[in-house]
Amino acid sequence: MRTSDRIIKAFLQLSTVLSVLITVLIVLSVFSETMRFFSHVSPLNFFFGTEWSPQTAIRADQAGSSGSFGAVPIFVGTVMIAAIAMAVATPLGLLAAIYLSVYATPRFRNAAKPVLEILAGIPTVVYGYFAVVAFAPLIRSAGDYLGLEVASESALAAGVVMGIMITPFIMSLSEDVISAVPKSLIYGSFAMGATPYETVRHVIIPAAFSGIIGAVLLGISRGIGETMIVVMAAGLSAKLTVNPLEAVTTATVQIVTLLVGDHEFDSPKTLAAFALGFALFIMTFLLNMAAQIIVKRYRQQNA
Amino acid sequence: MLKRTGRQARLVLRRIQKNKNPFVFSYGVTPAQKWIAGRKRREKQFKFFGFISIALSALFLGSLILNILGNGYSAFTRVQLYIPIEFSKEILDPEGTNDPAVLSKADYRKLVRNGLLYLFPADMPRAQKFELYALVSKAGYYQLCEMVINDPSLVGRRGELWLPAASNVDMFIKRHSLKSEIGISHYKVSTRQFSMLKELIDKERLRKVFNRQFFTGGDSQEPEQAGILGSFIGSLFTIFVCIAVAFPLGVATALYLEEFAKENWLTDLIEININNLAAVPSIIYGLLGLSIYINILGMPRSSTLVGGLVLALLVMPVIVIATRNALRAVPHSVRYAALAMGANPVQVAMHHTFIYALPGIMTGVILSIARALGETSPLLLIGMVAFLTDIPKTITDPATTLPVQVYLWTNNPEFGFVENTAAAIIVLLFVLVVINALAAWVRQRFEIKW
C-alpha cells in the first residue's frame, strides 16, 4: 500500500476509536460529577427520599442551606408522564401499523404515510408550543366542564402530546416487525377461512409479539428522555402524586431548570442535575439494550 | 382457534360433534349464523379502530398546522401610522452642537407626541392624550433617533413618516373586523383609541406593510421589533460546525466498520454501542458538552462552536448508520472488480465503494442536518438561551438557534409574542420541508438502483 493509503486507513481507524470514545466520555464525565454529588448527598437520600427542594441558600448560615435531594417524586413524575404517553402511543401506533399493513389500499397508504412521517419530523419544541398554547387550555376547559380541577401544567396534557409525538415512531417500528412475519403463516390463516381480524389477533400479533415489545420499550425510552415538551408543558415543583390532572415534574425538566442560568459548578444543586442525568442515561440505556436484544432474537426466530 | 372464539363458536362445534347441522336449528337464528354475524361485527369494529387511529393522528397534525398558521400569519405584516414629524431644534439639539452624543439622548418621544397631537384636536383631556400616545410603538422613537444620527441635517426640518404602531394596536388592526367595538378589550384597545384608529384609517394614515424587521432583526423586548435573523444565523453557524465535525468522522467510522473491520466481538460491541448512542436522550449530550467542552476545555459558553460540537456528537451515530446502510447496498461485484484490476483495499473503498454509496450517504447527512436543526434541549444546557439582541458574527459569539428562539418566545408572557412564536415555527418548519425535499431529490436523482 502507498503511504497515502496507509494514512487514510489510519484516519478511518482513528475515527472509529473516537466514536467509541464518545460513550466512554459520556459515562466518565457524567459519572464523575455524579460521584461528586454523592459525596455531598448520600445515595440513600437521593434514591429513596421523597422531598425535593434543591434551592441552595444565599447566606451560608441560612436554615436548610443544604437543600434536600430526594428524587422519588421526580422519578414518579417521569414514569407517570411516560406512561400516559405510551397509553396514547401504543394503541394508536400499533392499530395504525396494522391498518396500514392489513387493510389499507395502496392509495390510502400513500396518503396516510406522509402524515405520520411529517409528525415524526416535527421538532419537539413545536409540540411543546402546541401543548402550551392549545392543548393544555383545551384539557383545562374540558376539566372545568366536567367539574374537575385541572392544573394548568397538568401531566395529562404533556403526556398526551408526548404520546402523539411517539406514535409515528411506534408505528414505523411495528410496521417493520409486522412485515417481517412470514407470509406463509398469514396466507395459511386466510386459507383456513379466518377473517383479517382473526389473522391479526391469532397469527400476526403472536408471531410479531417480541418485536412489538421491543418497539414499545424503545418508545418508553424516548418518552423518559424527552425534554422540550415537558420543559414547556409540565410543572416545576416536585410533588409526589399519581393524579394525572396535577402538575408533576420529570428528570429532564429538573436537569434543565437546575442548569440553565449562571451558577458555580461545585454546588450540590448543579451536581444534582448530573446525578439525575446519570440515572436517566442508565434507564434509557437498559431499555435500549433490552429492546435491541429482543428484536435481534425475533429476527433470528423468523429467519 | 375455535376455543378462543367464544360461545357461539362452541355451540356450533358441539352441534357438529353431535352430528347435527349447525345451520339448521329448530327455531330462530342458528348458532352458526350468530357466530358468523359476531365475526363480521368484530372485523368491522377492528377495521374501524385502525382507521380511527390514523384519522386521530391526521386530525392532530391538521390542528397543529392550522393553529400555527392561524397564530403566525399575521406576524408577516406590520401596521404603520403616517405621522407628521417636526425635527424641531428646540427639542433635539437646543444648543446646535450637532454632537451625536447629544442627539442620541434627545427626547424623540416628544417629536412623535407632537405629531400625533397635530393630527387630532389638541385640546383633548390629558388622559385621552396618553391613550393617543400609546398608539405608536417605542420602536418608532428608536427609528427617529437612528434617522437623525445618520443624517444630522434633518434637525430643523419637518415631514411625514410611517412609524410602527404599538404591539396591541398592530394585533388589533390585523385580527379585528373593525366593524364594531365587540372584543376590543381583548386587544387592550380602549373605545377612544378605537375611534382614533378609525379616523386614521379614514384619513389613509394607517397601512399594513411586509414585516421586514422580523427577518432582519435580532431578539427584542418589544414584540413588534423582535426578529429571527440572530437565531437563524446562530442555527446556520451551529449546523456548519456540527456537519464539519460529524460528517468526516461519521463517514470514516462507517467506512472502517463496513470495509475493513473483521467480524468479531469487538466490532459487534462497537455496533451495539453506536446503535445505543443513537437512542441516548439528547439532553445527555448537553450534560456531556457542559462538563467536557465548557468545564474542562474552557470553550466559550453559549457559543455556536460548543453548540455545533454537541450536536455533532448527537448526529454522528445517525450518519454512521446511514452510511453503513448505503455502503451495504453496493454489490460485492464492484469490490471484486476493483480488486481484480489491482486496487488495494483502501483504493477499493475510497475510489469505488465510497463513490457509489455517496448519494445514499448524502441523503443520510441531509436528514441528519434536519435532525440537528430541530434540536433544542442540549443547547439549553450549554447556555444558548440568553436574551441576545445582537446578530452573531463568528462561531465563538454567544447565540441562540431557531428552535431555542421559539422556546424563549413561548415563555414570554407578552401577548404580541404569540404571533412571533408561531411565525418563527412557520419559518423553522419551512426550512425543514426544504431540507427534506432536498434529501428526496438527491435520492431520486443520484441514487443507483443495483
pLDDT, residue A157, reads 92
Render pLDDT for A224-247 as a digit per residue (tens, 0 to 9): 999 999 999 988 877 888 888 888
Higher pLDDT, B11 or B159: B159
The answer to whether residue A64 scores a pLDDT higher than 60 is no
What distance in Å separates the CA atoms of residue B113 and residue B134, rounded to the nearest whole number?
Answer: 9
Rounded to a whole number of angstroms, the distance from the CA of B49 to the nearest CA of chain A is 7
Which residues does chain A have within 8 Å of residue B421's beta carbon, measured at their own beta carbons?
129, 133
Q: Does A66 have pLDDT greater than 50?
A: yes
Q: Does B346 touch chain A (CB under 8 A)?
A: yes
Give Cα separations from B52 to A112, A180, B55, B348 (angstroms): 12, 25, 5, 52
Q: What's the CA gap between A276 and A280, in Å, rounded?
A: 6
The ipTM (two decimal places) reads 0.89
Q: Is A284 helix (H, G, I), strand (E, B) or coil?
A: helix
- Most confident among A21-30, B78-87, B235-244 (mean pLDDT): B235-244
Query: Which residue in chain B has the smallest CA separation from A2?
Result: B344
Q: Which residue has the cell 433544542?
A: B376
Chain A partners within 8 Å of B257 (Cβ): 16
| Chain A nearest CA to B425, separation (Å) | 7
Residues 235 through 264 of chain A touching chain B, CB cutoff 8 Å? 252, 255-256, 259-260
- Strand B158-164 to B206-210 pairing: unpaired
Mean pLDDT of chain A: 87
CATH no. for B229-446: 1.10.3720.10
- From chain B, the residues in CB contact with A91 under 8 A are 53
* Interface mutation vs chain B, best among A138, A200, A227, most B CBs within 10 Å: A227
- How confident is the model at residue A243, as a pLDDT? 84
pLDDT score recorded for residue B403: 95
Share of chain B above pLDDT 70, in %: 97
Q: What is the dihedral of CA B433, B436, B442, B447, to 10 degrees?
A: -150
C-alpha cell at B113: 407626541
Residue A9: which of B54, B260, B270 has the nearest Cβ?
B260
Q: A109-123, B1-15, B337-351: lowest mean pLDDT where?
A: B1-15
Mean pLDDT for A255-261 is 86
Q: pLDDT at residue A54 above 80? A: no
> What pLDDT does A303 receive?
58
Q: What is the pLDDT of residue B399?
A: 92
Closest CA relative to residue B317, chosen from B380, B372, B265, B274: B274
Pick from A164-168, A294-298, B259-263 the range whose average pLDDT is largest.
Answer: A164-168
Residues in A touching B274 (Cβ below 8 Å): 19
A285 CA to chain B: closest CA distance, Å?
A: 7
| B277 contact residues in A (CB cutoff 8 A) | 19, 22-23
Cell 444565523 -> residue: B233
Residues of B in contact with A2 (CB under 8 A): 344
Q: Give the start-to-end residue ranges of the domains of chain B.
A: 2-72, 76-215, 229-446
Contacts 24+ apart (CB under 8 A), B390-397: B390/B218, B390/B230, B391/B218, B391/B229, B391/B230, B391/B233, B392/B230, B392/B233, B392/B234, B392/B237, B392/B304, B395/B237, B395/B240, B395/B241, B395/B303, B395/B304, B395/B305, B395/B308, B396/B300, B396/B303, B396/B304, B396/B305, B397/B303, B397/B304
Q: Which residues have CB under 8 Å from B211's CB, separation 6+?
A: B75, B76, B77, B78
Tens of pLDDT, residues B158-211: 888 899 998 888 888 888 878 888 878 888 888 888 888 888 888 888 998 998
Whether A119 sits inside 8 A of B57 (CB atoms) is yes
**Considering only CB atoms, which chain B residues are within 8 Å of A252?**
281, 283, 377
CA B121 to chain centre: 47
Closest CA to B403 of B228, B245, B240: B228
- Our CA-based measurement puts residue B75 at a distance from the nearest CA of chain A, in whole angstroms, of 17
Mutate to test the interface with B, among A2, A5, A12 (most CBs of B within 10 A): A12
Q: Which residue of B has its CA nearest to A4?
A: B346
DSSP state of B2: G
Task: Give the tens place of pLDDT for each residue, B110-159.
Answer: 888 888 888 887 778 888 888 888 888 888 888 888 888 888 888 888 88
